[in-house]
Amino acid sequence: MFQRVLVANRGEIALRVIRACRDMNIGVVCVYSTADKGAPWLSLADQAVCIGTGPAADSYLKIPRIIAAAEKTGADAIHPGYGFLSENSSFAEQCRESRIEFIGPPHEAMRKLGNKNEAKIIARAAKVPLVPGSEGLITSEEEALKVARQYGYPVLIKAAAGGGGRGMRVARDDASLLTGYVSAKQEAEAAFKDGSVFIEKYLEQPRHIEVQLLGDQHGNVIHLYERDCSLQRRHQKLVEESPAPNLPPKVRDEICKSAVRLAKTAGYYSAGTCEFLLDKQNNFYFIEVNSRIQVEHPVTELVTGVDLVREQIRIAAGEKLKYRQSDIVQKGSAIEVRINAEDPEANFQPSPGRITQWYSPGGPGVRVDTHARTGYVVPPNYDSLVAKLLVHQPTREESIRVMRRALNEFVVEGIKTTIPIHKRIFNTAAFVDGVVDTTFIERVFYSPGNESPK
């Protein structure tokens, strides 16, 4: 096992990794930017090394400084958390070239799966269902038109290097297809230095279901069931839960088995997630792989009882999976809400600043993962997540009741948060009935083009 792990991240996930290391009796080093100087999680590490200024490009994204900090402090592994360098296959490769273990997948699998077109080729080989669409990349306007007409409008043009909805265009006719093809390519070229695109049939109001995976370096891969992450706004997830409500057991079983086949075909290990879209007829289609630990991983920890960060660390150290598939049971219902420092009444604009009062909920069935506290100053430089509030109960109905109670206990003053919108969601009939899709927030709370609540 490792002697010392360096945490190449900040905020709640840095704290989550510190806790896993403490539980495993592993030393822990944090890197930090000047914007995070004196931040509360740093005092829980054995050492903290400043690697630059507030902008992530000058600190949390500076590969040579992070590797130098690991070498200087004698860290034998690096945990990248999520965001920042977590899905950068070149970082993973450079870590290992420096004889520092990267706590994540093999860089070859990361590189392949990071490209959505390559990921689909692997999925096809693994006999995992794909959204109907082009066989591969589209290289001309003529080909784009041919494919769109073949599958029928609406279609979606997607950047192979895309993420977070960037480089994506819906086309409902030939004219919007041609303009969308050009602008998707341009956007992808500018954002990812890779303008390659493919085309899929556009699914209206799909659900977003993802499967949590764990694989070891000895060829074992298991799934830890699914999460429903349909409740999002502009590609920012707001609520995640497991099990996915109203999902027929046979469909759940097929999705989870597909995800395992895909990971095995890709030669994947560590923690990872396979994302699927689910249409109104409960047909599922693979869309992409997330080769990192995700924000919402605690939802799965609650329903399965597996410590995913601990398993990630054990796997990176070369140990065999501690669980067989038959050991994994989905027990009860878990729901997470993301508490962001944002103002839901002002188009979710960031609301950094000093937290003058912080009281977080507790009691039976409640878990709060946060680095915040009274007096903490949320810096303006990073993601606005300040806490993840989770509940775990025997049934979804009970989870919803406990979540309402916990949201009412939560006191945050000095900054605006997403707590009020969560209170509304948990009192909306469609959500309570488990009738959700990826357009729910926009449809129910915010009409298009109108940023003020209905």
Q: Which residues are catalytic?
A: 292
CB of 243 to ligand MV4, least distance (A): 18
Give the angle 441-444-447 at the CA atoms, nearest 5°.
90
CB of 173 to ligand MV4, least distance (A): 17
Mutual orientation of helices 107-114 and 116-125 as an angle, nearest 10°? 100
In the complex with ligand MV4, which residue's Cβ is closer, 70 or 122?
122
160 binds ligand MV4 (CB under 6 A): no
203 binds ligand MV4 (CB under 6 A): yes
Pair 436, 245: CB distance under 8 Å: yes
Kindly state the number of chain residues that form the binding site for ligand MV4, as judged by CB under 6 A.
15
Pair 207, 277: CB distance under 8 Å: yes
Q: Per CB under 6 A, which of residues 209..238 are in contact with ligand MV4?
A: 232, 235
Instruction: Give the DSSP letter string of 138-151.
Output: B-SHHHHHHHHHHH
295 binds ligand MV4 (CB under 6 A): no
287 binds ligand MV4 (CB under 6 A): yes
152 binds ligand MV4 (CB under 6 A): no
In the complex with ligand MV4, which residue's Cβ is closer, 62 or 338?
338
- Compute the distance between CA of residue 42 and CA of residue 50 in angstroms, rounded to an integer: 11
Residues 6+ apart with CB under 8 A from 329: 304
165 binds ligand MV4 (CB under 6 A): yes
Of the candidate spans 8-16, 84-92, 199-207, 216-224, the one that interacts with ligand MV4 by CB under 6 A turns out to be 199-207
Per-residue binder mask for ligand MV4 (CB under 6 A), 39-78, x = binder: ----------------------------------------
- Compute the distance between CA of residue 62 and CA of residue 51 in angstroms, rounded to an integer: 8
289 binds ligand MV4 (CB under 6 A): no
CA-based end-to-end distance of the chain: 54
435: left (phi over 0), alpha (psi -120 to 50) or beta: beta
Of 156, 159, 266, 387, the residue at the interface with ligand MV4 (CB under 6 A) is 156
CB of 442 to ligand MV4, least distance (A): 9
CB of 283 to ligand MV4, least distance (A): 12
Beta bridge partners of 4: 27
| Residue 244 DSSP one-character state | P
Residues 6+ apart with CB under 8 A from 9: 17, 60, 79, 80, 81, 82, 83, 84, 86
SS3 sequence of 148-167 = HHHHCCCEEEEECCCCCCCC
In the complex with ligand MV4, which residue's Cβ is closer, 15 or 148?
148
Beta bridge partners of 377: 354
Q: Per CB under 6 A, which of residues 233..272 are in contact with ligand MV4?
A: 235
Q: Which secondary-structure segment (H or E) carries 122?
A: helix 116-125
Of 41, 202, 225, 440, the residue at the interface with ligand MV4 (CB under 6 A) is 202
Q: Give the tokens for residue 245.
A: 């409500």
338 binds ligand MV4 (CB under 6 A): no
CB of 276 to ligand MV4, least distance (A): 9
200 binds ligand MV4 (CB under 6 A): yes
In the complex with ligand MV4, which residue's Cβ is closer, 31 or 199?
199
Per-residue binder mask for ligand MV4 (CB under 6 A), 419-438, x = binder: -------------------x
Backbone angles phi, psi at 334, to 5 degrees: -125, 140
In the complex with ligand MV4, which residue's Cβ is closer, 36 or 383?
383
161 binds ligand MV4 (CB under 6 A): no
Give the angle 164-168-172 at the CA atoms, nearest 5°.
140
Backbone angles phi, psi at 436, to 5 degrees: -130, 155
Per-residue binder mask for ligand MV4 (CB under 6 A), 117-136, x = binder: --------------x-----
Beta bridge partners of 171: 155
441 binds ligand MV4 (CB under 6 A): no
Q: Give the tokens for residue 401.
A: 């009741």
Of the candidate spans 11-19, 139-147, 195-203, 369-377, the one that interacts with ligand MV4 by CB under 6 A turns out to be 195-203
- Compute the distance between CA of residue 218 and CA of residue 239 in angstroms, rounded to an integer: 34
CB of 68 to ligand MV4, least distance (A): 34
328 binds ligand MV4 (CB under 6 A): no
Q: Choose among 397, 435, 403, 398: nearest CA to 419.
A: 403
Instruction: Give the DSSP letter string of 330-373.
Output: --SEEEEEEEESEEGGGTTEE--EE-SEEE---STTEEEEES--
Beta bridge partners of 157: 169, 199
Of the candidate spans 13-21, 50-58, 69-77, 198-206, the one that interacts with ligand MV4 by CB under 6 A turns out to be 198-206
Q: Which secondary-structure segment (H or E) carries 412?
A: strand 411-413
In the complex with ligand MV4, which residue's Cβ is closer, 22 or 166?
166
In the complex with ligand MV4, which residue's Cβ is closer, 232 or 312?
232
CB of 280 to ligand MV4, least distance (A): 12
Q: Which residues bind ligand MV4 (CB under 6 A)?
A: 131, 156, 165, 200-203, 206, 208, 232, 235, 277, 287-288, 438
